[in-house]
Amino acid sequence: MMLRTFSNLCAQSQACFRSARAKSTLSAVIDETGKSGLILKSVSTDIFENLALEDWIHDHVDLQNRSMLFLWSNAPAVVIGRHQNPWQECNLQVMRQKGIPLARRRSGGGTVFHDLGNVNLTFFTSKKNYDRHRNLQVVTSALKGLRPDMDVRATERFDILLNGQHKISGTAAKLGRTAAYHHCTLLCSADRALLSAVLKPTCQGIKSNATQSVPSPVKNLLDEDPTLDCDTIMDSVASQYNTEFGFSSPVTLVDPSDELSLPGIQRMARELLAWEWTFGRTPKFSICTTFELKNDTSICNATLNMDIKNGIIESCDIEVPSDWLPVELSREFSLHLIGGKLCPYQTSVIAAELLRTIPQNKELERKMYNLCRRVVFMM
C-alpha cells in the first residue's frame, strides 16, 4: 500500500500546486484531487487530536459524493460514549495513577480502552450512504483475506466476534447535518490486563439514566495468530476498502495538530480535553452508598447521598454516627462540597482546609482524614 504524506499529496496534485496560496487546507486539497474515495492515516497517537480530526473531517469535508476511511490508533486512553457516566464505567483512580486520560467521544455507544495495540477505523459517508453492515464487511473480509480460516463475524449489535465468542471490535456512530461517521475498534495486541483494570468501575451506588456499556469477553487477534500485527491489519483493511467501494486510494498520512491544513482543529481538541466536556457532560445522576470507616479501635458505617448535575455536586449529605465523629464535622464537609466539581483534587483541597480547623486531637483528626480519603476515593 503506497503511503503518502499530506504534503506529498499536495505536491503531486497539479491543481493544488498551482493554487499554492495560504489556504490549502485539507478539504481544499481533497476537493482538488476530485477523488470520491480517500484513505487517511493519522501520525498522532493522541486521543484528543484524533477525535478532533474526526470532528474536523465531519464538519469541513464535502461528503455528499465522497467517502473516506480514517485509520488511527492511540496511546492508552479510555473512551466513553457521548451520553455515558465515567464514574459508572471505569476505574478513574487507576487511570489517574497510570496517567491514562479519559475522553468522551461525540458518537454514542459504550466504553472502550484504546492503546497502540488497538486499531480504530472511521468510515465517513453522506447520511444516505451510511451503512454499518457494509463497513464491517470490509473489516471481516480484510481479516479473512489475511487468514482465510479465521472465524470472524459481525453481529446484530455491530460487534465483531472471533470464533463466535470473543469480541474483537465494537462500533459507534454519529449522524450529523448531512454526513455521518461510523467508527469501530479492532483489538490486535492490546494490553488486556490493563483493559480489565481500567474498565472496572469503582464508584458504587450510582443511579443514572446514562447509557450503559454491555461488557463482553475480549480477545486480541494476535492471540489467534502471532503474525497479525496492527500495521498488517491496517494495510489489509485499506486495501479491502478500495476493493469494496471501487476506489483506488493510497493511504495518506495526516497530522491532526497541523492548524494550517486543518484550521480550527486545535480549538476542537481543546474542547474535547476540557473537564466541562469529559466529566461535565455526564447526565444527571445520584450516588447513594454506604461505606465502612475504620480506625485502630472501632468501625462504623457511614452513608453518602449526592446529586450531581453537569459534574457539579448539587446536594450532598454525608452521615457518620455521632459517636464516631461529631455531626458538625461531617455536616461541614458535606456543605463545603456542594457547588464544587465531583473531582478528587478539588475535594482534597477542601478536606485539607477542614482538617486544619480541627482542634488538636489526633484521634479526631485521623477519623476525619479517613472520612475525607474515603470520599475522595469515590471520585
Partner 1 sequence: MAMRVAFRCLTANFSPVLIQRSRPVQISASRLLWKANPAQSLSTASRLSTALKFTDKHEWVRVEGGIGTVGISKFAQEALGDVVYCGLPEVGQKLEQMEEFGALESVKAASELYSPLTGEVTEINTELAVNPGLVNKSCYEVGWLIKMTIDNPAELDGLMDDCSYEKFIKSLDE
Binding footprint of partner 1 on the chain (CB under 8 A): 81-83, 106-109, 128, 130, 157, 172-177, 180, 182, 209-211, 283-284
Kindly state the smallest distance separating residue 108's Cβ from partner 1, in Å: 4
Kindly state the smallest distance separating residue 138's Cβ from partner 1, in Å: 18
Kindly state the smallest distance separating residue 107's Cβ from partner 1, in Å: 5
Kindly state the smallest distance separating residue 175's Cβ from partner 1, in Å: 4
- Among candidates 332, 280, 339, which has minimal Cα distance to 311? 280
Q: How many residues does the structure list for the chain?
A: 379
Residue closer to partner 1 by CB (options 55, 258) is 55
Beta-carbon contacts of 38 under 8 Å, excluding residues fewer than 6 positions away, are 30, 66, 67, 68, 69, 247, 249, 252
| Beta strand 3-5 pairing with 37-42 | unpaired
Residue closer to partner 1 by CB (options 24, 107) is 107
Residue closer to partner 1 by CB (options 182, 341) is 182
* Strand boundaries in the chain, DSSP class E: 3-5, 37-42, 67-72, 77-80, 102-104, 112-114, 118-126, 152-154, 160-162, 166-169, 171-175, 179-187, 206-208, 251-254, 285-294, 299-309, 312-319
Kindly state the smallest distance separating residue 368's Cβ from partner 1, in Å: 36
Strand partners, 312: 309, 341
C-alpha cell at 264: 480550527
Residue closer to partner 1 by CB (options 108, 205) is 108
Residue closer to partner 1 by CB (options 10, 308) is 308
Q: Are 84 and 211 in contact (CB under 8 A)?
A: yes
Look-up of cell digits 481479516: 143
Kindly state the smallest distance separating residue 51's Cβ from partner 1, in Å: 13
Q: How many angstroms separate the Cα of 174 from the Cα of each of 58, 130, 183, 312, 324?
A: 10, 10, 9, 27, 51
Backbone CA torsion sign across 214, 55, 252, 27:
positive
* Most distant pair of Cα atoms in the chain: their distance: 82
Look-up of cell digits 495486541: 189
Residue closer to partner 1 by CB (options 125, 220) is 125
Q: Is 338 helix (H, G, I), strand (E, B) or coil?
A: coil
Residue closer to partner 1 by CB (options 173, 230) is 173
Kindly state the smallest distance separating residue 105's Cβ from partner 1, in Å: 9
Task: List, in sequence order, the alpha helices (H) in 212-323.
Answer: 221-224, 230-245, 265-273, 275-278
Residue closer to partner 1 by CB (options 157, 366) is 157
Kindly state the smallest distance separating residue 312's Cβ from partner 1, in Å: 12
Kindly state the smallest distance separating residue 347's Cβ from partner 1, in Å: 25
Look-up of cell digits 505536491: 11
Residue 205: CA atoms inside 13 Å, Cβ hemisphere, count?
Answer: 15
Residue closer to partner 1 by CB (options 147, 309) is 309
